[in-house]
Structures are given as structure tokens and as C-alpha cells.
Amino acid sequence: MSMRLGPRVGEVIDRDEPLSFTWNGRTYPGYAGDTIASALAACGVRVFSRSFKYHRPRGLLTASHLDPGCMVQVDDEPNVRGAHRRVRPGMDVRSQDTWPTLSFDVKAANELARRMLPAGFYYKTFMSPGWLWPAYERVLERFAHGGVVGPGKVSALDGNERYDKRHAHPDVLVAGGGPAGMAAAVTAARSGCSVMLVEEELELGGHLRWGDDVDLTALSELRGRVAATPGIEVLTDAVVLGRYDGNEISVLQRGLPHVAERLVKARARTLVAAPGLIERPYVFAGNDVPGVMLSTAVRRLVNLHAVKPGDRAVVLTANADGDATALDLERAGVEVTRVDARRGGDVTRALGRGRVRAVELGDGRRVECDLLVTATGWTSAVSLLTMAGDQPRYDDTAARFRPDASRLPSDVMATGGVVGDGSCAQLVAHGEATGREAARRSAQSSVTASAAPPPLPVEPHPALFRGRTHGMVDFSEDVSSKDLFTAVEEGFRCPELAKRYTTATMGPAQGKLESVNVVAIIAEATGAAIAETGTTTWRPPYAPVSLGALAGRLREPTRLSPLASWHHSHGAAPLVAGAWIRPDHYGDPVAEAASVRDGVGIIDVTPIGKIDLRGPDVSRLLNLVYVNKWSKLEVGRVRYGVMCGEDGVVIDDGVTGRLAEDRYLMSTTSSGAVTVWEWLESWLQTERPQWRVHATPVTTSYASINVAGPRSRDLLARVVDDVDVAPEAFPYMHVRTGRLAGVPGCVVWRIGFTGELSFELHVPAGYGLHVWERLLEAGRDLGVRPFGVEAQRILRLEKGHLIVGQDTDATTKAYGAALDGLVKLDKDDFVGRPELSWGGQPGDGQRLVGLRMSPDSLVPAEGSQLLDHRGLICGRVTSSRLSPALGRAVCLAQVEAALAEPGRQVTVRLVDGGTARAAVTEQLAQVDPEGVRLRA
């Protein structure tokens, strides 16, 4: 049955562009410009969904983005607001959460059990016994509302579509594109401001769009002014989600090409909130039966979409908009019975189930009809203002809460219907004055004197919330006025508590339609005044937002060495180490480790932190931040150093070399590269600003390659141009600079993390690949092979070299890391000295030791607990590997200091629940403890 009307002056449908789509599998016609709901309503569809708890049939209530009754599934997208989304050709639209069909829904049986689903149902029912929770969960899932993400259909997003984010910096952001908002935007822009005008609906205009000829003339004039004014960015189908500190306004924008949804993070100098008014439903028995609609819903359907919402209507009106609705209906050929609430008229009950059949009036009359329209009052859309600190006050005259402008910060203003009533001209004038003042506050206008907009009039309105019967209050959550009375009886007398107890205002509409009714009914139930009952709190987001929009594009910085492409093309298993992607191994870490012990291997150690230090006071800085002594480091030497925090806890280690009289190169751990540099800067900038030192991070200026193994000198000799690598010319713990493989500006230091003779080459990064390939080529006959991080971990563990952060933790002081020999308390001052000189003596806390397992090939998992002879936890394994060189497990462990003596036995608790014995070793180093190999 077609309910489509003939052409209307303000209609937004394009009759030249018919289309078809499917609803629950059946094909329906529509026009371009129709919403899903208007196209279906034009075909006589009245039921769009089933309600949340009782699965009652639901039709259109507001016919807008707020409509709680027509959330639908569109293709693979759930929870689409059907009265807002425009219908597209071929769209597959389905009702949500109904089974087996929308018209025959089994769960409607819940309705019969209504007395068993009282207020606080969840809290009362699914409480105990706790072990039944998994079963409860399955029950609750079946009750849950909502569609399905991607139910087997190909995604509606095309290849370019993404969730997206962008930043914006408008001088003035106007939230709401009704007459006042448009006027404010135009005036602010004409004053020289950049303006962002945000409108939640699909086009600008607010209530003017469904108004009379005068309204439509004003609308077209205002839209023309917006379009003709440079400096206004108009965002339609975009909703302001929240206002945050620093006037950061988050806006969710939809309907863009190539973008599914875009979150705009706007930093506005001034926010002008022009959200207008929301029409409030009336509470009475049967107020959720399909065919009971708000007056604005009717005017949208009739005037925007040319849809006749019924044939016989009862209009309960308390205001001019209700009167206008009755006229609109009559002009559309609907038979209308007016019930004037201003003269005591009332509706007590809507009869019918799938659709309204009749209405019972307050005077006892019963009127047959298929449409009941209510125009009983307005709610100010104050949520954005309350996020800025406003506390709305109840206005008895207007029968609604109104914002208290005096509580707003200077960078937030309000205009339009949210402020007061008035003719279109009055709203526009208020908007203009607000726009002018917003421009002044944004400091972009030549007008300097503050000019607060004149107040808008407030028209008297009858206070209509609940009639003489109980009805639905929260249509999203199926909470009735009776539930609220019950909640109050049970002691939940404050709206904040009653809300949580009943879940009223907690559904998708988030209180926009129902919160004032909730407050009024609680006031009625408690006998208090509305003003003293107060409201619930508005928090962002104002409208439901998809997680995709909040996430936006994934931006996770990734760092790559200049050798990354080589590693990738040579089968390296990637290891994510912080932001770095490193080669864990090239297939066989054990063989890689063996080649270093027996011959020579090369490893990419580019992530090692490198800091260029210059200036006359560098040695003072080194003496301050390292626990050991640095004043006598000669040019050409490198030294190992350990840094502690002010609490004596080890924070980093590494070697620093002196390249010239006042030029040093410091190395740090890979993970500590950034924090160590910031640490140095904090001392130089705050406690020692008089020191003349420049510290510059140069980690990625160099590709760093460690050449390790007994044949490393032979290999290096083949690629150096002007560095003498002979043992006597280049001893252990020395540094040289020069040219390698034709590359100038290289730094080479002779150190040995792996425990083998080794050289660390720092090569200008762009030449890294060249030098790496030259090393492999030049060392082919030496059996050189690349090794990865895993082989390096094996090698260093065999040698007993600790890794800060793995073998130490946030409580490990220098002594606990077995670094006693390094700490020089006879230095005047160094970071950590006070703590290390008092509390951190050997004997306190835990201590780093080597462990020998029994059986000795057993490799306990890292993190395995250690138990003492009483079975109490006395430490943990910090590192463990099977040593290829020794053919047994090598472990480092933190153990209570009293047990940290060679030969002491502990029990290791294994992951599988078993235990093993272990003995503390003589030294940390298990391979070459004398250090002969690295000094070769």
C-alpha cells in the first residue's frame, strides 16, 4: 500500500531517480533522498524493530537520527540508524535481533514474563551462585540487542575506504546547523574567522526544513549566505561527540567518499553550541505502539519525504508545532482529531499491538485511528554545554532544563533553541550576535568591546511528562515509568542511581529523548520538585561511535636499519624489539653462534644507542652519570660504564669512547637509546646548566655492525683502508676512526659483548649495506656468516654478560647486578651515590648469579622461580639458553643475597610443575671466564 504523497515544496527526495533495495529479503522501491525509514514507510511498513527487553514491535517515533525504533543492519554494518541513513540502490537492509522474523518474534514471549523482568532485573537475577556466570552469560547474550558485524557478506567498504582521522583548527566551531547556527557561522566568518559548521543531519537547516513557506524562504536565504561566505567549512552528516580540555572538539563525520567514518579532532578557539531542541515523547500506556509518533516525526515524513504516516490521526498538541503538524496532516489528506493539552485535553492509552487501532482520551472518549501524534514539549540539547561545565537549571515557565550561561568558560557560547524560544528572525539575530562575539573572543575581529547577545524570550509551555497511565520512558532500553516508580520505592531516589539500577537513559539514545522524563517521573515518585531532583550527567560521546572511527589509521612507528632489506631477502626471522624490526636469526641460531665461536660472524647492531658528546665538560658529565670513573679516559680508548638512577637502580650500560680531545661517542642499550639521551639532557638542562656539553643522538646516522669471532681481525684487515688492526696497534677497549671498504668517517671500537675477539663498526648509514656485503664477500673463505639477535643472546649468556632490564629489574641496584667492582664510592658525586653508599651494600636484597642445572642439559624457562631449602621463593631465572659451546644449560638468575655463593643449591620450579636442582656457579661467565678470547 503506497503512502507516498504528491510533490511537496520542501521535499528532499528526487522523483526522477527511483531505486530499489531489499528489506528482510523483499524488494522495495524508493527515491534518491529517501532514508531507509522513509522509503519503507512510503510502502506502508510500520514495524521496524523489536524492543530490547520485551521484544515489542516498534515503529517510527522521531523519524530522525535519534529514533530508537529503527536501528537496522545494512549489508555488513550493524546498528545503522534507519531514519538517518539514506537508502542506496541495492542496499540489503535487515531488522536486527529478531527470530525467526520481525513479524513473528519468539522472544516477544518475554512480554508475558514482564513481571519477571522488573527494574534491576539483571542485578537481582544474575547474581548468585557465581559459578553459574558462564550460563548467565549465554542467556544475556541472547537478550542483547544489536546487529552482526560482517555476517558473511563482502564488506561494503571498497578498497580505498578506511576509518580516518584528521585535525582541524577553526577559530570558531559551530555545533548545529539550524537557523541560529548558520547565522552565527556566517557572521563569525565575515568577521575574519575560520569557521567549521557541523550538522548532524544530512543537510543544513534544522527545523526550518519541515516548516511552512515562510520557514522555507528563510532556509534558502540562510543556506545561500553560508554558501556565499568564504571561510566556512560545512560538515553535514557529522556529529560533535564531545568537548574536552583546551576546547578540543571531537567530530564524527560520515558520508565521505573513500572514508567509512572520519574523526575530526578540532581545536577551536571558540565553540558555539547551537544544538537546538529535541522533541520529548509523552509517557502513557501504549506510547510505544507503532503509529505513535512525535509531531516532528510527522512533519519530517510529510514535508521532507512526502510520506503519509497514517490515514486517521489523533494529534495531542501543547504547542504551535503540534498545531502546525495537524495542519500538515490535513493538507496531506489525513483525517485529524485534535486534542489540545493547553485546554486540558489528554491521551491515556493507545490501543493496538503491531499498529495503533484506537486511542483513549482523558475525557473517556475513544477515537479509532491509525496514527497518534504527540507534541508535548521540548528538551534542550545541553549535553555539549554540560561537558564544558554548564549545569542546566529547570525552568518552570518553559517546562524544560535550560543552560546556565554564567557557568560556561569564555571559549564556549550557546545560541538558538537551546538558549530560548523565538521566531526565526529572533533566532537568526541571536545567532548573528553570538557569531560576532565568538569572533571577538577568537581575537579575529576588529570589534573589541564585549557584546553579549541579547537574551531570547522564553515562551510558557505546559509541563507534560507523564499522563495518567504508565508507559514507556526509555524506548531503547524498554524501561517504563512503572520501573522508575519501583526503583524509587526500593530506595533509588536519585536520578544517577535510578538510572544505573533501571538502565534508563543507558541505551543507544543515551538520554537525549528520555532523560527529562526520567527526572520528572522520579520527581513525581519522590514528591520532589524537578528543579531539586537534578539531572544525570552528560559525558562524551554524544552519539554512538564506532571503535573503527576512534582507532583511525594505525600509526605504530616502525624503525628499520639500513640493512633491513638485506635481512628480509636473506630469510631473517623478524624480531620486534620496541619500534625496531631486527633479525632474530637466519634459520639456525645455534649454527650462527657456533660460527662466531669458531670462525667469524657479523651482526647488525644498528639499534644500539649512539650519542655524540662534545664540549669541555663531557668528562664531568660522564663522571656524573656513570658509577665508575671517567676523568682519565685517553683519546683512543673506550670504557664500559653503568648508569644508575638516583635510587641506585641500574638503568643502562654501554661503552663510551673518546674520539678526540673534547669529542666522545657514547653507546647505550638499544631500548635505552632515547631515555639515556633524555636523562643526559635532564642533567645538562636542569641541575648542571653551566656545563658546556652538547649531546646529540646519532643512533641512526650509523649502520652498526659487530664483527665477532677468532677470525674477525683477519676479516677486518681485508676491508679497512687506513686503520691498523694488528693486536698491538689496536688493543682491546680501544677506538679508531678511519676508512672502511672505501667509506670515510667510520668509527671502530674493539669490544666484546659476545666474549669473542670482536670489532664494532659504525659506518655512515647510507654505506651500511655496502660494508655489510663487502664483509660477507671478503670473508667467504673464512666462513663468515650473519648472525641474529638469538645467537648473540646465546653468546653473551655463555660469557655471563648481563642485559639491563632482563637480568635486572626496576629494583636491582648496582650491587644486585654484581657490578660491585665498578661502583667507585670515592668519586665526589655521581647519580645514585647516596643510595649505593648506604643501603645497597653486598648482602642486601637479591643478586645476579650464574646457575648450573642438574641435569645439566635442562633449560628452565626464563622467569622460572627459585626455591630455597624450605620451599620458599628465593629468586628467579632471568636468562637461560642451551649453550652450543658447552652442550649444557647456561643460566643467569636473581637470587637472595644470602644464597648467592658459589656451590649453593636451589630448587628450580619448572613450567610443567616439576622441579630441578641447580647450583650457583663460581662466575657469571661459563665460557672463557678469564677473558682470553676477547683480548686475543
Partner 1 sequence: MILLPCPWCGPRDADEFGYAGEIRPRPDPSTTTPAEWRGYLYLRRNTAGWTRERWFHRMGCRRYLVLERDTTNNDVRPSTDASSGSGS
Partner 2 sequence: MPETTPVIHGPVAPAPPVGVLAGWAVSRRRSGAALTLSDHSLLAKAAVKAPWQGALADVLAVPFAGTLRRTAASTELLLTQPGPGEWLVLAPPGEQTALVTWLERCAADVDELVSVLDVTHGLCLVRLTGAAAPDLLAKECALDLSERRCPDRTALRTAVSRVAADIIRDDRDGNRSYLLACERSSGQYLFDSLLDAGAEYGVEVTGFEPPGVTEQTARAD
Where along the sequence are the contacts to partner 1 (CB under 8 A)? Answer: 244-246, 248, 267, 646-647, 678, 681-682, 685-687, 689, 828-829, 833-835, 838-839
Question: Using CB distances below 5 to 8 A depending on partner kind, what does residue 245 bind out of partner 2, partner 1, none?
Answer: partner 1
Report the alpha-carbon distance of residue 95 to residue 58 in Å, rounded: 11
* Partner from partner 1, partner 2, none contacting 82, C-beta within 5 to 8 A by type: none
The length of the chain, given as a count of residues: 936
Q: Report the residue number, 100 or 557, with the smaller CB distance to partner 2.
A: 557
Residue 560: CB minimum distance to partner 1, A:
21
Q: Under 8 Å CB-to-CB from 540, ≥6 apart: which residues?
A: 241, 242, 243, 244, 250, 387
> Running DSSP on this structure, what letter comes out for residue 406?
G
Q: Given the complex with partner 2, which of 538 and 767 has the nearer CB atom?
A: 767
State the minimum distance, in angstroms, from the CB of residue 742 to partner 2. Answer: 4
Q: Which one, 530 or 622, has the nearer CB to partner 1?
A: 622
Distance between CA 761 and CA 720 in Å, rounded? 11
Give least dist CB 767 to partner 2, A.
6
Minimum CB distance to partner 1, residue 617 (Å): 14
Answer whether 652's CB lies under 8 Å from 686's CB: no
* Cβ distance to partner 2 smaller for residue 137 or 777: 777
Task: Compute the distance between CA of residue 761 and CA of residue 704 in angstroms, rounded to an integer.
Answer: 6
Residue with Cβ nearer partner 1 (820 or 835): 835
Euclidean distance between CA atoms 62 and 823, whole angstroms: 75
Q: Which is nearer to partner 2, 394 or 767 (CB)?
A: 767
936 binds, among partner 2, partner 1, none (CB under 5 to 8 A by kind): none
* 769 interacts with, out of partner 1, partner 2, none, CB within 5 to 8 A per kind: partner 2
What's the CA gap between 362 and 365, in Å, rounded? 7
Instruction: Residue 835: name its binding partner from partner 1, partner 2, none (Cβ under 5 to 8 Å by kind).
Output: partner 1
| DSSP-based three-state secondary structure for 250 | strand
Residue 681 interacts with, from partner 1, partner 2, none (CB under 5-8 Å by kind): partner 1
Q: Least distance (Å) from partner 2 to the CB of residue 805?
A: 20
Q: Which of 442, 415, 411 is nearest to 427 (CA)?
A: 415
Question: What residue 120 binds from partner 1, partner 2, none (CB within 5 to 8 A, per partner kind)?
Answer: none
Query: C-beta of 829: minimal distance to partner 1 in Å?
Result: 5
Binding partner at 164 among partner 1, partner 2, none, C-beta below 5 to 8 Å by kind = partner 2
DSSP per-residue string spanning 625-638: HBSS--TTPPTTBE
- Least Å from the CB of residue 201 to partner 2: 24
Nearest to partner 1 of 107, 267 (CB atom)? 267
Tell me the C-alpha distance between 89 and 75, whole Å.
Answer: 12
Q: Which does 244 bind (CB under 5 to 8 A by kind): partner 1, partner 2, none?
A: partner 1
Q: Select the binding partner of residue 841 from partner 1, partner 2, none (C-beta < 5 to 8 A, by kind).
A: none
SS3 31: strand
With CB cut-offs between 5 and 8 Å by kind, which of partner 2, partner 1, none does residue 687 bind?
A: partner 1
Q: Is the dihedral of CA 202, 207, 210, 212 positive or negative?
A: negative
Return the C-alpha cell found at 555: 600509526
Query: Closer CB to partner 1, residue 634 or residue 829?
Result: 829
Closer to partner 1 by Cβ: residue 446 or 690 = 690
Q: Identify the H or E element spanning 23.
A: strand 14-23
- Least gap, CB of 248 to partner 2 (angstroms): 10
Q: How far is the CB of 838 from partner 1 (least distance, A)?
A: 5
- 631 versus 686: smaller Cβ distance to partner 1: 686
Q: Closest Cα to residue 656, out of 595, 584, 601, 733?
A: 733
Residue 152 or 557 with smaller CB distance to partner 1: 557
Residue 719 binds which one of partner 2, partner 1, none, with CB within 5 to 8 A depending on kind? partner 2
User: Where along the sequence are the contacts to partner 2 (CB under 8 A)?
Assistant: 160, 164-169, 194, 258-259, 265, 267, 553, 555-562, 565, 579-580, 606-607, 612, 614-616, 692-694, 696-702, 718-719, 721, 741-743, 745, 764-770, 778
Q: What's the closest the beta carbon of residue 25 comes to partner 1, in angstroms? A: 46
Shortest gap between Cβ of 827 and partner 1 (angstroms)? 11
- The answer to whether the beta carbons of residues 865 and 571 sit under 8 Å apart is no
In angstroms, rounded to a whole number, what is the distance separating the alpha carbons of residues 67 and 87? 16
**What separation, in Å, do the N-terminal and C-terminal C-alpha atoms of the chain show?**
97
Q: How far is the CB of 688 from partner 2 (least distance, A)?
A: 14
Q: How far apart are CA 862 and CA 877, in angstroms?
A: 5
Cβ-in-10-Å burial (0-12, 13-18, 19+) of 829 comes to exposed
Q: Residue 843 CB: number of other CB atoms within 10 A? A: 10
CA 640/CA 802 separation, integer angstroms:
13
* Binding site partner of 580, from partner 1, partner 2, none, Cβ cut-off 5-8 A by kind: partner 2
- Cα separation, 387 vs 391, in Å, equals 9
Min separation Cβ 392 and partner 1, Å: 20
CB of 833 to partner 1, least distance (A): 6
Q: Are strands 270-273 and 172-175 parallel, antiparallel or unpaired?
A: parallel
Question: Cell numbers of 275, please?
Answer: 544544538
Instruction: Supply angle C-alpha 370, 374, 379, rounded to 5.
Output: 150
* Start-end of H helices in 461-585: 481-489, 495-502, 515-526, 530-533, 547-551, 564-569
Cβ proximity to partner 1, 135 vs 579, nearer residue: 579
Distance CA 571, CA 739 (A): 30
Q: Which partner from the list partner 2, partner 1, none does 338 bind, CB cut-off 5 to 8 Å by kind?
A: none
Q: Cβ(378)–Cβ(278) under 8 Å? A: yes
Helix 481-489 vs helix 515-526: angle between axes, to the nearest 10 degrees?
50
Question: Which is nearer to partner 1, 27 or 686 (by Cβ)?
Answer: 686
Q: Which is nearer to partner 1, 459 or 687 (CB)?
A: 687
Find, among 182, 334, 169, the residue nearest to 249 by Cα.
Answer: 169
